[in-house]
Amino acid sequence: MRLALSVTLAAVIAVAAALPASAQTSAKAAPTPVVEKTKSPEGKWTTKAGDPIYNIEPDGNVDWFTWSGFRRYHSECHVCHGPEGAGSTYAPALTDSVKTMDYATFVGIVASGQQNVRYQGNSIMPALGDNKNVMCYVDDMYVYLKALSDGAIPPGKPKGRVDKTKLQGAFEDTCLGG
């Protein structure tokens, strides 16, 4: 039995090694999709439909909201959903979810929660609608996860960021009640 497994494993390795380099690296992230977007006075980028979206500068720096989303995601969400939105044994990979989930559905689940019955047991996303540290930054977390999901930014801390505008600072103060 072990011999058969060893022979099979050796064959798989030999076939993989014989593939051209382009086939071996094709599992890398797909190119970032081109999305028509506009910038608001406070510096927030939105799609034609009005949903928040990331913006990556030519030098690799991210917009303020994507940066903020990185920070907020890792302070509020990664404990359950894993680093970089990759998922865990009891919470789904959000980078996969935002590939097919629209923005309104994302916000609805974050605010109201959700329960999924799975073969391993129930999966419960708590309602976070009254958590200002989440809801004041839900757009930011969404654009961060979309940027990861689309391959626009690599995993890890973004290279750099565009500064926060005064209008965004005022919004944060108002949202957080300060």
Residues 103-132: pLDDT tens digits?
999 999 999 999 877 666 677 899 999 999
How far is 137 from 132, CA to CA, in rounded Å? 8
pTM over 0.85: no
pLDDT at 165 over 70: yes
CA-nearest of 60, 33, 41, 38 to 50 is 38
Domain ranges for the chain? 32-176
50-68, pLDDT tens digit by residue?
Answer: 999 999 999 999 999 999 9
Question: Cβ distance 51 to 103 under 8 Å?
Answer: yes
Cα(50)–Cα(38) distance, rounded to whole angstroms?
Answer: 9
CATH number belonging to the domain at 32-176, selected among 1.10.760, 3.40.190, 1.10.155, 1.10.3470 = 1.10.760
The dihedrals phi and psi of 38, each to the nearest 5 degrees, come to -130, 160
Which tens digits make up the pLDDT trace of 125-152?
999 999 999 999 999 999 999 999 999 9
Cβ-based neighbour number of residue 81 at 10 Å = 22
